[in-house]
Amino acid sequence: MKLNKLFYHIQEKEDRIPTFFDDIDNLTGGLLVGGITTIAGRPAMGKTALPCRWCGMSAL
């Protein structure tokens, strides 16, 4: 199964919260309700800033 079809299948079956980042939402469909999202990267790459931004945008 191609990656795009897999993500489309996930989007149809699960409740998701939009991140308001179009590229991430198009790929994953948003954050999974009740799920855990792992963010990995090198030091000083904005790993903390990204979820803070998600929370701020979701609260609006």
pLDDT of residue 32: 81
Domain count across the chain: 1
Give the structural domain span for 23: 3-59
Instruction: Judge contact between 7 and 28, C-beta under 8 A.
Output: yes
pLDDT of residue 42: 92
**pLDDT tens track for 33-47:** 888 888 889 999 989
pLDDT of residue 14: 66
Residue 26 has pLDDT above 50, yes or no: yes
Residue type, 33: V
Q: How far is CA 30 from the centre of its chain?
A: 4
Instruction: Give residue 8's pLDDT band: very low, low, confident or very high (50, 70, 90).
Output: low
Q: What average pLDDT does the structure give for the chain?
A: 77
